[in-house]
Structures are given as structure tokens and as C-alpha cells.
Structure 1
Amino acid sequence: MFVTLPYMHHALRTAARAALLILAVPAASAASAGDGPVLAAFAHPDDERVVGPLLARLAREGREVHLVIATDGSKGVTPHGGIAAGPQLAAARVTESQCAADRLGVRKLHMIGLEDGSLGHSMERLAELRTRLAAIVDAVRPEVVVTFGPEGGTGHPDHRLVGNVTTEIVQGDARRSGIRLFYASLPEERLRAAPQSVPRVSGVAEALLTVRVPVAPRDVAAGRASFACHATQYTPAQMDAINRTLAYVWDGTAWLRPWNGADPAPILP
């Protein structure tokens, strides 16, 4: 099922339906176009929560799903976590990320392990991110890549830079021209009306989120179970508040947009 706003232009609706097909090819058509690997690239352990139900649906339907986390999360100190910044916290967050990936059905978790909060510190650090992320992309050979858009979710510099570098990798080499790149976001209009939680996130105008993939209650449940792995970062009450916000905003839909506008090729039904 694909849902559009009544005022959405016909051409935009057509492009959106086509893009949705790229993401939604069922597992039964494993020999056909649209069944290739899916790679989600994010900055920190727990960033994947914005697409948790989508990744769960894709994995459930037989897609090979990879999750890339760029940083080690070693500076995510919280009052309740009781772990100081540094290697011990980084190790805890690797464990949490593997737990989260397993609960989503992710085939492989790729932890690049760059220092948390450091991606914008130097050209050398950005070059290292680009080199290591590009190597993963080339090894996985994904049909679909999902990452942050320019707004970067909460706006964290690491979020923005991972989305930027992922985009650079896809657009910078003709050998990767067949990759379908999508930005994951949330509709701003729904965020404003949603129950509030922390951290606050920046959304995108709903009309621009033209790729809308239905997610079943069991996929949402898998996303919540995955998010629950990140216990160093959120108390149960904080998780409940975030889950209420996301449930309202998602409303049974994963929201994305093609990185370069309309995507006419077929991707998921």
C-alpha cells in the first residue's frame, strides 16, 4: 500500500510509487530485480532507530541487510549509564549495537569505530571515514543505501557528515551509479503534532518524503526491541517517550526520499 497526500503533484506520486517498488520487492522474487543487499549507514550506535521497522521488514522478507555505524559511541555518557567516556563505554556500545542488529535481523553489523564526535575534526578524519565506508560499500555491493539527509536527524555534526560522505561515495564513482540512495527522515508536520521527547529531531516537509514503505506492527515491535538494547543511553522512561513520538510520526510508515529527487527505477511492493 502506498499513501500520498491529496495535493501531491501527479509526477511526484508516480515517482514515489516507482521508488517504493525498489524498496519493497518481496522475498519470493529473489531472482528478480530489487532483491539486492540493503545497507544502512549511520553515525552512532542507536541512530538506526529511525529506520528500525524498515530494516526489520526488509530482513523479514529475505533481504540481506547490513548496518554500518561510523563512530564508537565512546562519548555517550549518561547519568544512569554509570560508564565514563572511553574504551569501556565504546565496548558496551558495540555489544548494544550487535544486540540491536540481531533483533532487526541484520545480516552483518559493520562498526568502523572512529572516535565519537570527531568526524568534523580534520580533513584526515573525514578522508578516513570515506575510505573505510567506501570499502564496505564496495564489498557489500548494495542495491539500496539508506542514510541521514542534510538535516541529520537531531542535527548532530556526526550525523550530517555521515550522510554527506555516504552521498559522496555513491555519487563520486560511476561504478556505484546503480546504487539507489535514500535519505531517512520524519515528516516535520507530524513531528510538530507528536508527543514530545528528547532528543528533538529536525524533520523534512512531508510532501518531499515520497518513498513511503508500510511497516507492520511486528516490524515496529522489532524496532522497539532493537532500540531497547541501547540501555547505556536511555532510561526505560526515555525510551517509552521516544517510542510514543516515533509511533505517532511513523503511523505505520517508514519515510524516505531519493537523494537526487525522483527515482524512476523499480525497488519494494
Structure 2
Amino acid sequence: MSRSALHLRPTPDAPAITEAADLGTVLGIWAHPDDEALLSAGLMAAARDAGQRVVCVTATLGEHGTDDPRHWPPDRLAAVRGHELRASLAALGVCEHHVLGIGDGACAEQPEDFVVHRLARIVREVAPDTIVTFGPDGLTGHEDHQTVSRWATAARALAAPRARLLYATTTEEFVDAWEPARDAFAVFLTDELPLRTPRSSLAVELRMDSAALDRKMVALRAQASQMTGLIAALGEDRVRDWWSVETFVAAERVESRTAWASWRVAA
């Protein structure tokens, strides 16, 4: 299977930010509960510990995130995942949270201008120094992730063009560690992913120590409907190792591309 690196515009290399305190007020914009914990739990917790404001936006409650819809019908799973998400964020010290209430798997069907302007209102209220979200690839190839990336990018342009916009990415180091488990765990949903972003291209690289990883694992385990089985299957040591570094590229460095291959939930 092929693997890709992001197509990055050449710019003078600058050292990656390694301290969340340097990010100022942080706004995370994500698609489903657990996206924010996997990709930015360490960042959020460290920013809060440094006295920074952190706000999280979640587009959907992931009500189709089950292979047992008879036992977990959408209304029930949405309610449970909402409770899990609040508990997860609380473990990180994050108490400001917005849910857009969009259907799981239906982001691309929404009227884009309406959602972007709704997000822009949140962005203006928060006045973030840094916005974190998915890149145009959606990190895993999920159509909801890709759509949220587009919304967040447009909302930032409207409401806070001077804010730092960061796209979550994966690195060569991550891909090499993940590859042996790829076939058993269909997390990355197209052949082009995960990305092999060179460390030299990162804008932010946060490496967590043992205590920070403990806290991230608490946040992940709080989202039990999604994470309990995955952690049990992979083993906690591997989960800790794979997700011990949170990495982001600057949006301005990512070259535009007509489309990425995408995967859509079967709603």
C-alpha cells in the first residue's frame, strides 16, 4: 500500500513549538468525541496547566460509532458519548465545550456557509491565538474529518485570520510504529494514510512524559464506548507509545489539493 507525505510549501525552517504554554488561547475544532483526546489531550492539559484558556468544539456526537446498532441505537449512543466527552474533557481541565449537533456521517451534507458562519461566531467569541483541527486529509480519511477541516479553515479566515492554524498530522516515526498493526485495526481508511510528515516540517511537537500520558489515558478511557475495546485489543503500552507525541503542521505550509480519498460512515 502506498503512503504519502503532505505536500508542503517550502518556507524557512523554524523550530517546532514544544511547550503548549506558547500556544496562548487554544480552540480545538473536531468531528467526533475522542478525536480531540487522541490528537490533542496532552496539548489541552498542558495549556490548561499553564493557565491558558482552552475551548473545544465537536461537530457530531458520533452516534453511528458502533458495530452493534441494535444494542446501541443512535439516540442512546449519542447521549452516552456526550457524557463520555464531558468526563474526558474534565480530566484535562477543559470546561468550555460546544456541540454543533450535526448528524454523524452527515457533515458533508450540511449547508457549508451556514456552518462556517456558526463556527466563525464561536471563533470571534473565543479570540484564539491557536486553532487546532484536522488537515484536509482528515488524518484518517474520514469524510466528516475532512469536512470539519474545511469548515475550521474557512471560519478562521473569516473571524481570526491572525490566529495560528494547526493541522494534526502523523509522522514517519508514527507510521513505522503503527504499520505492524495496520491490517488488524482499520483506523486509517484510505491507502494514502497515515501521512509520513517529516519532523523537520512540524510546527508543533509535544512529547508527553509518563504523568502526562497517564492523564491522556484517563481522558481516553473516559470515552469507554469507543476506547475500551481498542485499548484492550492493542494493549495499553502500545497505545501509550503510539499516541505519546502530538504533532501538527502550520496550515499555511500545506499545499491545496482538489480532493483526498475519503471514507464515509454507513449511517
| Contact 2:20–2:43, Cα closer than 8 Å, also in 1 | no
Give the drift of 1:72: 2.5
Q: What is the aligned-residue RMSD (CA, Å)? A: 2.6
Residue 243 of structure 1 and its aligned partner are, at CA, apart by 5.1
Give the Cα–Cα distance (whole angstroms) in 2 for the partners of residues 131 and 214 of structure 1: 34
Match of 2:48 among 45, 59, 66: 59
- 1:136-151 equivalences under 5 Å are 136-151=122-137
Deviation at 1:200, TM superposition (A): 2.2
**How far does the alpha carbon of each residue in 1:63-114 deviate from its partner, in whole angstroms, 9 at most, with x for none?**
11111101122222333993212x2221111111101110111131111111
- Normalised by the length of structure 1, the TM-score is 0.77
Q: Which residue of 1 aligns with 2:15?
A: 16
Q: CA deviation at 1:136?
A: 1.1
1:57 Cα deviation after fit: 1.4
CA contact 1:81–1:232 (8 Å) conserved in 2: no
Aligned partners of 1:64 and 1:107 also within 8 Å: no
Matched residue of 1:254: which SS?
strand
Partner of 2:194: 203
Alignment of 1:97 with 2:85, yes or no, is yes
Whole-Å Cα distance in 1 between the matches of residues 116 and 49 of structure 2?
30
Residue number among 61, 65, 68 corresponding to 1:72 in the alignment: 61
Instruction: Give the unaligned 5+ runs of structure 2.
Output: 1-9, 255-267
Which of 92, 95, 105 aligns to 1:117? It is 105
* Matched-pair identity in %: 28
C-alpha displacement of 1:51: 1.4
Tell me whether 1:224 sits opposite 2:221 in the alignment: no
Q: Give the drift of 1:212.
A: 1.3
Corresponding residue SS for 2:246: strand
Deviation at 1:38, TM superposition (A): 0.5
Structure 1 runs not aligned, ≥5 long: 1-8, 26-33, 263-269
Distance in 1, matches of 2:71 and 2:211, equals: 32
Contact 2:42/2:208 (CA < 8 Å) preserved in 1?
yes
Cα gap change, 1:186 to 1:243, in 2 (>3 Å):
farther
| Structure 1 residues 1-269: aligned runs within 5 Å | 11-12=12-13, 15-17=14-16, 20=17, 24-25=20-21, 34=22, 36-48=24-36, 49-79=38-68, 82-85=71-74, 87-122=75-110, 124=111, 126-171=112-157, 173=158, 176-194=160-178, 196=181, 198-201=185-188, 202-207=193-198, 208-234=201-227, 236-240=228-232, 241=234, 244-250=237-243, 252-261=244-253
Deviation (angstroms), 1:165: 1.0
Instruction: Write the distance in 1 (CA, Å) between the matches of 2:221 and 2:238.
Output: 15
TM value normalised by structure 2:
0.78
How far is the alpha carbon of 1:260 from its aligned partner?
Answer: 0.4
With over 3 angstroms needed to count, the CA separation of the structure-2 counterparts of 1:64 and 1:199, relative to structure 1, is farther
